[in-house]
């Protein structure tokens, strides 16, 4: 009688472990998007000589406002895909001199539109 009770406990633990492994794959993870969502058509319109108000109209207000660097605007974007856990980070920095764009730093190559966060249930 002891052996069959031991086998049934072992079988119960095996079933519970299998259920745990299966259920762990069913966890829903949300997409996380933070920062300034900038499209290529916006970034490509940015030119040296534009005023701060023109840049703000085109790209919006930067998410980070550095009190020590008033003449530098950083546009950051962070997207983490909930399903794949893949992370996309973008940084665009605009430098001003006398309230006009002096230079723009951005990743090399063509600006590719970031992933658009999906709305759950849509």
User: Do 94 and 102 meet the contact criterion of CB atoms below 8 Å apart?
Assistant: no
HSE on the CB side for 36, CA within 13 Å? 22
Segment of 13-17, 41-45, 50-54, 108-112 carrying the highest mean pLDDT:
50-54
pLDDT for res 38: 87
Check pLDDT > 60 for residue 2: no
HSE on the CB side for 79, CA within 13 Å? 16
CATH of 31-105, one of 3.30.60, 3.40.50, 3.30.1450, 1.20.1510: 3.30.1450
Show me where the domains of the chain are located: 31-105
Q: Which helix (H) or strand (E) holds 52?
A: helix 52-59
Q: What is the mean pLDDT of the chain?
A: 81
Check pLDDT > 50 for residue 1: no
User: Count of residues for the chain?
Assistant: 122
Give per-residue pLDDT as tens, 14-50.
Answer: 777 666 666 666 677 888 888 888 888 999 999 999 9
For range 65-69, the mean pLDDT: 82
Give the pairing of strands 87-97 and 72-80: antiparallel
| DSSP state letter for 71 | T
Among residues 25, 29, 35, the alpha carbon closest in space to that of 115 is found at: 35
Report the SS3 class of residue 91: strand
């Amino acid at each position: 009688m002891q052996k069959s009770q031991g086998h049934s406990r072992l079988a119960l633990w095996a079933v519970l472990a299998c259920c745990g492994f299966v259920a762990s794959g069913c966890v829903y993870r949300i997409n996380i998007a933070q920062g300034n969502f900038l499209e290529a058509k916006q970034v490509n319109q940015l030119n040296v000589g534009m005023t701060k108000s023109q840049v703000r109209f085109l790209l919006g207000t930067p998410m980070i406002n550095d009190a020590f660097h008033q003449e530098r605007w950083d546009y950051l974007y962070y997207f983490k895909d909930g399903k794949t856990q893949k992370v996309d980070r973008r940084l665009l920095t605009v430098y001003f001199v006398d309230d006009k764009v002096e230079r723009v730093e951005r990743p090399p190559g063509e600006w590719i539109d970031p992933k658009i966060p999906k709305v759950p249930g849509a």
